[in-house]
Amino acid sequence: MKIYICEICGDAYIGSEKPANCPFCGARSNFIKDGAEAKPIVNEKIEISEESRKNLLETLDLEIDANAIYLCMAGKAKEYMIKAMYKRLAKVEFEHATIVTKLLGMDAPKAKELPCPDSDAENFEKTIALEDHAAALYREFVKKSAEKNIRIFFTALSQVEEEHKQLISEIA
């Protein structure tokens, strides 16, 4: 067994091989390093510009909303696989919110409750729209970030949300 650490969320994964994606924040394997070599962005205290601060706060709201919506969708799903998938997506989005609060030196995020449609079909459609919006927004934020670590963060997140969109497109 080995210890791997995600350089985006800073969480450790213990296993015999590096996972294809971080099980906690969903970052791709290129962001996951051998434990001794990893330098998680959440551990580095950096000066954050006003522009990046504004973009990170918008990200925080979006991720907290996504967490709430996916938990609602998990509650309405009839099939266990869909329920479990939405629970996982909710946890991943909450992890994204947590990373933002660490980057900004804020208190841990608080979850909220939001409504969602009743059918899987409507929920899949809404999920694809949410993930598409998030992926595009984070790609824009990469271009607007002056700080290297913030660019790395938004690059990783834009890929995660894009992969969520692909996942739902395939099962819908």
Supply angle C-alpha 122, 60, 43, rounded to 5: 130
Cβ-based burial of 151 (10 A; exposed 0-12, middle 13-18, buried ≥19): middle
Q: Binding of Fe ion at residue 22 (CB under 5 A)?
A: yes
Q: How far is the CB of 153 from Fe ion (least distance, A)?
A: 11
Q: How far is the CB of 27 from Fe ion (least distance, A)?
A: 5
Contact 127, 73 (CB under 8 A): yes
Task: Indicate the SS3 state at residue 158.
Answer: helix
Choose, by CB under 5 A, the member of 4, 5, 25, 165 that binds Fe ion: 25
Q: Binding of Fe ion at residue 135 (CB under 5 A)?
A: no
Identify residues 75-94 at the interface with Fe ion (CB under 5 A): 93
What's the CA gap between 116 and 126, in Å, rounded? 9
Q: Binding of Fe ion at residue 141 (CB under 5 A)?
A: no
Chain residues in the site for Fe ion (CB under 5 A): 6, 8-9, 22, 24-25, 27, 63, 93, 96
